Amino acid sequence: MGQWASVLKKRNIIISLESNDTHLIGLIKSGNKQAFDEVFLKHFKSLHAYAFTLIREKDDAEEIVQNVFVRIWTKREQLKEDGFLKSFLYRSVHNESLNYLKHQKVRSDFNIHYTEEVKNDTGNLNAEIMATELEKNIHSAINELPEKCRNVFQLSRFDQMKYQEIADALNISVKTVENQMGKALKILRLKIVDFLVIVFLLLK
């Protein structure tokens, strides 16, 4: 009897927790800011600690958790009321952290690629200085892109999203995504070519 009583007690606790989670999710889904703030304050510290164990960057871990909560609030109408809130939060932070790490790797690969190009094109010129300057020019060129171009380019190159995924995320057609990517790449090529021409003239 003691064993069954323990099992039943645990089962009742789980049902109680799930019921409370369902209630909180329902309140958030309906736009109850107080319920949202309650969940944020209750779970932020532990979620931040979890994100930190994955990415080892305190400030970025904080930003990851904040991004998760911002997304939950902005897309609250899409929340599902069946399930555990805590596990959902941890899963969301886990996925966001993996996206962050993937994003960092893409940026690193992107910079390494252009560093190698600079080494090949500049010969005796200090590659590290040139790579830094080229990176600045690339990021500056990306920031100067028209907003739609910039969004499409960053989602494709940095977040590694497929054209269909970008189209769904921005609520535009795949054809528009293709056009905007073509436009972005053309602009960036021109910007980088201008920079390399200046380097070539300096070398002469």
- Taking only the tens place, the pLDDT of each residue in 26-42 is 899 999 999 999 999 99
pLDDT higher than 60, residue 55: yes
pLDDT higher than 60, residue 201: no
Name the pLDDT band for 4 (thresholds 50, 70, 90): very low
Lowest mean pLDDT among 10-19, 32-41, 164-173: 10-19
Q: What is the CA radius of gyration of the chain?
A: 24
Name the pLDDT band for 15 (thresholds 50, 70, 90): very low
Q: How many of the other CB atoms lie within 10 Å of CB of 190? A: 11
pLDDT higher than 70, residue 74: yes
- Is there a contact between 101 and 51 (Cβ–Cβ < 8 Å)? no
**For 122-160, what is each residue's pLDDT tens digit?**
454 455 666 666 677 777 777 888 888 888 888 887 778
Sign of the four-CA dihedral 71, 89, 167, 163: positive
Average pLDDT of every residue of the chain: 76
Which domains, and CATH codes, for the chain?
Answer: 1-102 (1.10.1740.10), 123-204 (1.10.10.10)
Nearest CA among 122, 104, 12 for reference residue 55: 104
The pLDDT value recorded for residue 197 is: 53
pTM: 0.47
- Is there a contact between 65 and 93 (Cβ–Cβ < 8 Å)? yes
Instruction: Give the C-alpha separation, 72 to 70, whole Å.
Output: 5
The pLDDT value recorded for residue 154 is: 83
